[in-house]
């Protein structure tokens, strides 16, 4: 394709052609710059995180509670809180997401309900997460009368569902129909065909979707602010406010205390590393599946 740019002695001299080539060269340079610019941000952000956060990563960060301002401490309670909230969110959201995706790809592939659900699900996929927080506040926190870990987990589950629905449907649609037909010809009931054949063939893709969903919610802050709130102390009680890394980062980063800001950077580094690791694993999984 690039050969077309090559000139012959006669055309190179016409001013129009020279102008077109100049314009082309300029745009190509701009495109290169744009790509470098895009990647530079990742480098800058990761660099700042490592620079500011790495000094705080020590045994202490994983073994001590969040401190009051002015004294040392770690991030144990928010780390555990984040693990609990994320785990529960995935545990609630994944089955619903997989079942809904199964319906769309296996049972109602061509019907009206599926196309409506697909449209709505795609919108939920990018809906503002703070609205999810308000919704859970209205349905759980207000009736219960207090903030709670379980409300936070539900809010995260609502964010998990659309991600899992989307990947499950996409992956099941990739399973060749001949596999299903062969299984059906052996006399397997429909539910078995889905369980044993379709899920089996799409497993890596569905797991990828779940990993991406975990990556997505492990950094979510907005839906936790008024559901799980935050907790300065050790608590694994799901019926009480629960600490989480994003909420602690939000609180500590905006505080005037230097120790708190340091811990916020450390927490930010931990979350970013976890999210990047999850997305890289998910990508490796899906590409090894393709080959």
Q: Contact at 8 Å (CB) between 233 and 77? A: yes
Question: Closest CB to another protein among 30 and 91?
Answer: 30
Question: Closest CB to another protein among 80 and 216?
Answer: 216
122 SS3 class: helix
| Minimum distance, C-beta of residue 15 to another protein, in the bound complex (Å) | 15
Question: Closest CB to another protein among 54 and 63?
Answer: 54
How distant, in Å, are the alpha carbons of 5, 7, 23, 214, 283 from that of 20?
Answer: 10, 12, 5, 49, 40
Residues 6+ apart with CB under 8 A from 199: 206
Question: Closest CB to another protein among 59 and 112?
Answer: 112
How distant, in Å, are the alpha carbons of 6, 18, 26, 103, 278 from that of 111?
Answer: 53, 56, 50, 11, 35
d(CA 26, CA 37): 16
Question: Closest CB to another protein among 135 and 257?
Answer: 135
Classify residue 52 as exposed, middle or buried by CB count within 10 Å of its CB (0-12, 13-18, 19+): middle
């Amino acid at each position: 394709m690039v050969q077309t740019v090559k000139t012959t002695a006669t055309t190179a001299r016409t001013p129009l052609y020279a102008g077109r080539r100049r314009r082309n060269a300029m745009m190509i340079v701009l495109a290169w710059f744009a790509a470098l610019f895009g990647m530079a941000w990742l480098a800058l952000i990761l660099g700042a995180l490592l620079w500011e956060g790495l000094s705080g990563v020590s045994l202490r960060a994983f073994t001590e509670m969040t401190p009051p301002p002015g004294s040392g401490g770690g991030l144990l309670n928010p780390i555990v809180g984040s693990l609990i909230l994320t785990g529960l969110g995935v545990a609630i959201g994944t089955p619903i997401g997989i079942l809904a995706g199964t319906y769309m790809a296996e049972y109602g592939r061509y019907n009206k309900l599926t196309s409506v659900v697909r449209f709505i699900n795609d919108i939920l996929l990018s809906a503002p997460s703070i609205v999810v927080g308000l919704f859970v506040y209205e349905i759980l926190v207000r009736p219960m009368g207090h903030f709670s870990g379980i409300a936070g987990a539900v809010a995260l589950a609502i964010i998990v569902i659309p991600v899992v629905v989307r990947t499950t449907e996409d992956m099941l649609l990739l399973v060749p129909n001949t596999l299903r037909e062969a299984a059906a010809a052996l006399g397997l009931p429909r539910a078995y065909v889905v369980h044993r054949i379709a899920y089996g063939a799409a497993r890596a893709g569905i797991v990828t979707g779940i990993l991406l969903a975990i990556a997505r919610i492990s950094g979510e802050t907005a839906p936790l602010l008024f559901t799980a709130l935050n907790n300065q102390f050790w608590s694994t009680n799901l019926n009480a406010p629960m600490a989480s890394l994003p909420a602690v980062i939000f609180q500590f980063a905006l505080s005037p205390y230097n120790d708190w800001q340091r811990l916020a950077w450390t927490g930010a580094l931990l979350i970013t590393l976890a999210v990047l690791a999850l997305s890289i694993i998910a990508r490796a999984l899906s590409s090894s599946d393709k080959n």
